[in-house]
Structure 1
Amino acid sequence: MARTVRFHEIGGPEVMRLEDVEPGEPGPGEALIRVDAIGVNRAEALFRTGVYIEPVKRFPARLGTEAAGVIEAVGPGVTEFAAGQAVSVVPAFSQNDYGVYAERAIVPVSVLLPRPDEVDAVSGAAVWMPYLTAYGAMVEVGGVRAGDVVVVNAASSSVGLAAIHTANRLGARPVAVTRTGDKRQRLIEEGAAEVLASEEDDVPGRVLALTGGRGAEFVFDAVAGPGVTELARAVAPGGTVFLWGMLSGQPTPHPGFDLGMPPLNLRTYTVHEITRDPERLRRGAAFVASGLRTGAFRPVVDRVFPLEDIVAAHRHMESNTQVGKIVVRVDH
């Protein structure tokens, strides 16, 4: 049996329960892993509360798409991984099918990346989703170039920080947007060229001023909702707003009509565009690994909670006070 986090109804963090569950045996194309650390993802809170991009299909339901651990067994026909190998799990599956909030979990081998000896479990659980998300939107899809201005809101999140680091590596100019000025200095230290507070600053006005009236080539919006129209005012002609999150939980209008139909691109994006495409994942993993080797990239961990405190970990995430990734440690 393995201690496993499940929930039996839609609701807040308190609906999660730690239960003894038999993990089973891996089938074809699957591996059973001993989970040593779990990366907590906003998508899991959205799934738990019933407002994610896919609904919960059955109860009890599982959670978790990011982890690091060691393979205990592989299913029939699996040759690319072996028992005893240290790995990281990247998000590329439905939580209706798999979940890694557990001491041991079965996952598809297609979501595994080898974890080097020098990368510990906490780092291995914290680093991949943020940087693969930023890489996919900024390199594979967006084509960010040196000299571009990129605006990143929810900038203190793990994905926001990865976007700042990635923009700098590409030679772009990252403008971080956060709710208040409390995190301004930390974001400057993380590489933001400018930091704007959405509750204190005229964000589109400041972006236009910073760019000599041109606007930003890219906006990476993790909040969505009605505020997308204001952000779109800061976009250069032909520029793109990437909607890669929905923290507001509110309907998102298309801003083009309210703004007089400028040449504006509006695009939704999730990391699954990268992690579910083997060739894109191969390129993304190489990009992130090279950044880790040179020190341009690094896991930014806000706090580490034990598995027993999974409810507290989710409450901390929903407080929006963190800077970087929240990780859950699994003690065996």
Structure 2
Amino acid sequence: MSRTVLFRELGGPEVLRVEDTPTAEPGAGEVRIRVGAVGVNRAEALFRSGHYIEDVRSFPARLGAEAAGVVEAVGPGVTGFAPGDPVSTVPAFSQNDYGVYADQAVVPAAAVLHRPEGLDAVGGAAVWMPYLTAYGAMVETCGVRPGDTVLINAASSSVGLAAIHVADRIGATPIALTRTGGKRDALLKEGAAAVVATDTEDVASAVREMTGGRGAHAVLDAVAGPGVHELGALVAPGGTLLIYGGLSGEPTPYPGFDLGMPALSMRTYLVFETTRDAERLRRAAAFVTSGLRAGSFRPVVARTFDLDDVVEAHRVLDAADHLGKLVLTT
């Protein structure tokens, strides 16, 4: 039997339950993993509450896409993995089809990466989604180059921190946006060139001064909503306003008309653009692994929780007052 987190109705953290489920055998193209740790992602809170980009198709439903552990079994047609291999999973599948909030999980082999030497299960569950998202957004999509400025909204999130590290790694200048000044020192320590507190500072004036009036080549925004008007005005000519989340929960307008039709691109981005494309995932994994080996990248873990404490972990996730990644351990 496997201990698995399930939910049988939409709602808050309290709908989550740890239940015993039969141990599943991997099918063609699948791998079964003995899970040691699970990364907690806001996408799971949205799926659990019925506000994600896809609806829950049936109950009981599972959660999770970021796990680390050891291969237990491989299905027919799987090559490159064997029992005993330390691995991590990446978000490359629907939570309607697979879930890794469990002590055993069957997942597609295409969503499994070998875990770099020296990276434990907690780190292996915390590192891939943030860095793959940041790499795909900045390098593959926005074409950020050395000397460019990157403006990072919600910078204290796991993706925000990874974006700071990636910008530093490629020679770009990361400017962090955060609601209050309480996380300023931590963000500077993580490598931000500057930090702007959006609740108390004039963001537009600060960013224009920091960029000599040019603006940022890329603006990474996990908040969306009406705030895109201000962010759109801070994109350098030919730059990109990239929306990869919707924390505001409000409608997101296109700011170009109100700003006088500037030469900016505005687009959405999901990590699936990287993880579901084998060649992009190969490049991204190589980039992240290189950064880990060099010491430029590292998992930033805010707190760990036992799998049985998944409800409390989701309450902390919903409060959104932490710096870095929340991780469940089994």
Quote the Cα distance in structure 2 between the aligned partners of 1:294 and 1:150. Answer: 22
Name the structure 2 match of 1:55. 55
Residue equivalent to 1:119: 119
Displacement after TM superposition at 1:230 (Å): 1.1
SS of 1:255 mapped into structure 2: coil
TM-score, normalised via structure 1 length: 0.98
- Contact 2:116 2:289 (C-alpha < 8 Å) held by counterparts: no
Which residue of structure 2 aligns with residue 292 of structure 1? 292
Q: Distance in 2 between the 1:174 and 1:77 partners?
A: 43
Match of 2:227 in 1: 227
| Paired position in structure 2 for 1:140 | 140
TM-superposed deviation, 1:307? 0.3
- 1:62 alignment partner, SS class: coil
C-alpha distance in structure 2 between counterparts of 1:144 and 1:228, whole Å: 20
The alpha-carbon deviation at position 141 of structure 1 amounts to 1.3
- 1: CA distance, partners of 2:192 / 2:131: 16
SS at match of 1:290: helix
> Which residue of the partner structure matches residue 129 of structure 2?
129
Cα-to-partner distance string for 1:241-294 (whole Å, 9 max, x where unaligned):
010111111111111111121112101001111110111111100000000111
C-alpha distance in structure 2 between counterparts of 1:119 and 1:113, whole Å: 12
How much has 1:163 moved relative to structure 2? 0.1
Match of 1:262 in 2: 262
Q: The residue matched to 2:291 in structure 1 has which SS?
A: helix
**Hey, what does 2:7 align to over in structure 1?**
7
Question: In 1, distance between residues paired with 2:218 and 2:141?
Answer: 12
Query: Does the CA contact (< 8 Å) of 1:180 and 1:198 recur in 2?
Result: yes
Are residues 1:189 and 2:189 paired?
A: yes
Deviation at 1:117, TM superposition (A): 3.9
User: Is 1:215 the counterpart of 2:215 in the alignment?
Assistant: yes
State whether residues 5 and 101 of structure 1, in contact with CA within 8 Å, keep that contact through their aligned partners in structure 2: yes
1:40 maps to: 40
1:237 aligns with 2:253: no
One-letter amino acid of the counterpart of residue 314, structure 1: H
CA distances 1:284-320 after superposition (whole Å, capped 9, x unpaired): 0000000011111011110010001001111111111
The question of whether the paired residues in 2 share the 8 Å contact of 1:205 and 1:234 is answered with no
Number of the residue aligned with 2:199: 199
Structure 2, unmatched stretches of 5+, are: none
DSSP 3-state at the match of 1:93: coil
Secondary structure of the residue aligned to 2:249 is coil
Distance in 2 between the 1:252 and 1:23 partners? 43
Count the aligned residue pairs: 330
Contact 1:224 1:246 in 2 (8 A): yes
> 5+ residue gaps in structure 1?
none
1:73 is aligned to 2:92: no
Whether the 8 Å CA contact 2:56–2:96 is kept in 1: the answer is yes
* Aligned residue in 2 for 1:174: 174
Distance 2:150 2:36 in 1: 35
The Cα RMSD (Å) is 0.9
Shift of 1:215: 1.0
Structure 1 segment 247-258 matched on structure 2, within 5 A: 247-258=247-258
Q: Does 1:311 pair with 2:294?
A: no
Cα distance in 2 for residues equivalent to 1:202 and 1:117: 44
The one-letter code of the counterpart of 2:292 is L
Q: Which residue of 2 aligns with 1:159?
A: 159
CA distance in 2, matches of 1:124, 1:233: 38
- The runs of 4+ residues in structure 1 deviating greater than 2 Å are none
Provide the rounded CA distance (Å) in 2 between the counterparts of 1:315 and 1:284: 31
Distance in 2, matches of 1:300 and 1:77, equals: 35
Any idea what SS the aligned residue of 1:260 has?
coil
Percent identical: 66
Q: Tell me by how many angstroms 1:23 deviates.
A: 3.2
